[in-house]
Amino acid sequence: MDIDARGPRFGAAVTTAVLAAVLITGSVWLLVWQTLSFALGAAGGVGRSPYGRLFRKAVRPRIGPPTEFESPEPPRFAQAVGLVFALIGLVGYAWGPLWLGPAATGCALAAAFLNAAFGYCLGCEMFLLVRRLTARAE
């Protein structure tokens, strides 16, 4: 079942704000929260992440029915990629080296910002590339 294309973009906007706050404050707890959000989105799809639920309950009723849909698999893969970067960021903030936490968080922030601001999902593009490469290998 396809999903409302505005949902992942809303989630990316919230993710951008959270990750920017992590970089500004150095808050490991905010990064833990974002890591959990990525984990829920990767495991259950973007609709099961906290931001997906917020979009469905509070935002979508106010902006009307969707006019554009997308497959749920690419955004779910993007959540898994975000999860990897967030976990690496947590390792960096908790155990070092000192540059690793901000660097990994910054990479995740850049990807989230591209999706939020321009509708360009790096993780989704990675999903499509992996799918093409594996199809050629068969």
pLDDT tens-digit profile of 4-19?
Answer: 999 999 999 999 999 9
pLDDT > 80? residue 87:
yes
> Would you state the pLDDT for residue 86?
98
68: left (phi over 0), alpha (psi -120 to 50) or beta: beta
Residues 100-118: what's their mean pLDDT?
98
DSSP H/E element including 4: strand 3-4
Average pLDDT, the chain: 96
> Would you state the pLDDT for residue 138?
75
Residues 33-47: what's their mean pLDDT?
97
Q: What's the CA gap between 94 and 75, in Å, rounded?
A: 28
Report the sign of the C-alpha dihedral through residues 109, 111, 115, 117, in that order: positive
> Would you state the pLDDT for residue 55?
97
pLDDT tens-digit profile of 65-74?
Answer: 999 999 999 9
pLDDT > 90? residue 137:
no
> Would you state the pLDDT for residue 1?
87
